[in-house]
C-alpha cells in the first residue's frame, strides 16, 4: 500500500489518507482505513482502479439537505464498493442560510462552530456510517473535499485523540488561497478558526448526544487505530 498521506488518483485533486497520525494515548491511525477526498465522480477508470487497489470498499457522500448536487460518474465505479449518503448540513434552515450559505464565509471554517452546534445528530450520523461500514477502507467526501469533509475529519481525528496541531495541519493541506484571503479580511487565520472549533467541543459527549453509541466509538477505534506494539 502507498504510505503517503497525499494520494494521486486520476481525476481527483484532493485525496488524503488519514493514516500515520499519532494519538494522545500512544496509538497511530491505520493506513488505508479512512480516506478523505473531493468528489470521486471525477475519477477516471484508472482513478477508480487506484481507489480500489487502496482498499476502499465504502464511500460516504457528505451532502447538504436542500442543496441539489447531481454528479454523474465519469467512469463506472466498482460494483462491490458501497455508497452511503449522509446529509450533514441543511440550507432549509433559514437562519443558517442567511448567516452562512448566502455569503462567501460558507467556504471557510468560520461556520464550523455554528454548524456543529446546530446539527450534532447529522454529524454523529456521518461517524456512525464510518463505524458501521463493511470491512475495507472507507472514503468520505464532499464536492471539493474542504469543508463538509473538513468537519468530519476534525470530529473523527479528535475522537481518536489526534492532536489539535495535526488536525489543523490536515485541514491546511486542502490549499485554498481564496479562503485565506477571506479569513484575513475577517482578521483571523485557518489555524485560529480550526482551534476555536476544537476547543468548543467536548468531543465524545458531543457525539454521544448526537446519537453515536459507545459501540460505534469502539468500532471506529478498532477500524482506525493500529494495535500498540
Looking at residue 69, its pLDDT comes to: 87
Mean pLDDT of the chain: 95
> Is 229 contained in some domain?
no
Grade residue 1 by pLDDT with cuts at 50, 70 and 90: low
Q: Which domain holds residue 184?
A: 6-224
- pLDDT tens-place string over residues 146-163: 999 999 999 999 999 999
Q: Rounded to whole angstroms, how far apart are CA atoms 74 and 69?
A: 15
Q: If pLDDT is split at 50, 70 and 90, which confidence band does 70 have?
A: confident
Residue 13 pLDDT: 97
Can you give the chain as a three-state secondary structure string?
Answer: CCCCCEECCCCCCCEEECCCCEECCCCEECCCCEEEECCHHHCCHHHHHHHHHCCEEEEEEEEEECCCCCCCCCCCCCCCCEEEEEEEEECCCHHHHHHHHCCHHHHCHHHHHHHHHHCHHHHHHHHHHHHCCCCCEEEEECCCCCCHHHHHHHHHHHHCCECHHHHHHHHHCCCCHHHHHHHHHCCCCHHHHHHHHHHCCCHHHHHHHCCCCHHHHHHHHHHHECCCC
Number of domains in the chain: 1
Render pLDDT for 93-146 as a digit per residue (tens, 0 to 9).
999 999 999 999 999 999 999 999 999 999 999 999 999 999 999 999 999 999
- 1 is a domain residue: no
Q: Does residue 58 lie within any of the structural domains?
A: yes
Summarize pLDDT for 179-226 with one digit per residue, the tens: 999 999 999 999 999 999 999 999 999 999 999 999 999 999 999 999
Tell me, what CATH number does 74's domain have? 3.90.190.10
pTM: 0.95
Amino acid at each position: 500500500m502507498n504510505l503517503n498521506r497525499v494520494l494521486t488518483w486520476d481525476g481527483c485533486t484532493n485525496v488524503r489518507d488519514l493514516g500515520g497520525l499519532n494519538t494522545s494515548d500512544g496509538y497511530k491511525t491505520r493506513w488505508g482505513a479512512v480516506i478523505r477526498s473531493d468528489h470521486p465522480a471525477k475519477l477516471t477508470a484508472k482513478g477508480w482502479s487506484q481507489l480500489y487497489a487502496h482498499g476502499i470498499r465504502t464511500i460516504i457522500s457528505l451532502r447538504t439537505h436542500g442543496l441539489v448536487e447531481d454528479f454523474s460518474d465519469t467512469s463506472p465505479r466498482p460494483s462491490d464498493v458501497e455508497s452511503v449518503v449522509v446529509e450533514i448540513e441543511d440550507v432549509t434552515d433559514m437562519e443558517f442560510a442567511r448567516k452562512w450559505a448566502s455569503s462567501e464565509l460558507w467556504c471557510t471554517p468560520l461556520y464550523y462552530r455554528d454548524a456543529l452546534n446546530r446539527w450534532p445528530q447529522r454529524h454523529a450520523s456521518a461517524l456512525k456510517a464510518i463505524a458501521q461500514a463493511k470491512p475495507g477502507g472507507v472514503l468520505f467526501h464532499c464536492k471539493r473535499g474542504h469543508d463538509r469533509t473538513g468537519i468530519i475529519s476534525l470530529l473523527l481525528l479528535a475522537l481518536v485523540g489526534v492532536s489539535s496541531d495535526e488536525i489543523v495541519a490536515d485541514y491546511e493541506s486542502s490549499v485554498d488561497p481564496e479562503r485565506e484571503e477571506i479569513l484575513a479580511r475577517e482578521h483571523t487565520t485557518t489555524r485560529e478558526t480550526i482551534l476555536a472549533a476544537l476547543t468548543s467541543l467536548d468531543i465524545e459527549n458531543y457525539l454521544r448526544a448526537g446519537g453515536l453509541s459507545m459501540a460505534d466509538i469502539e468500532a471506529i477505534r478498532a477500524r482506525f487505530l493500529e494495535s500498540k506494539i
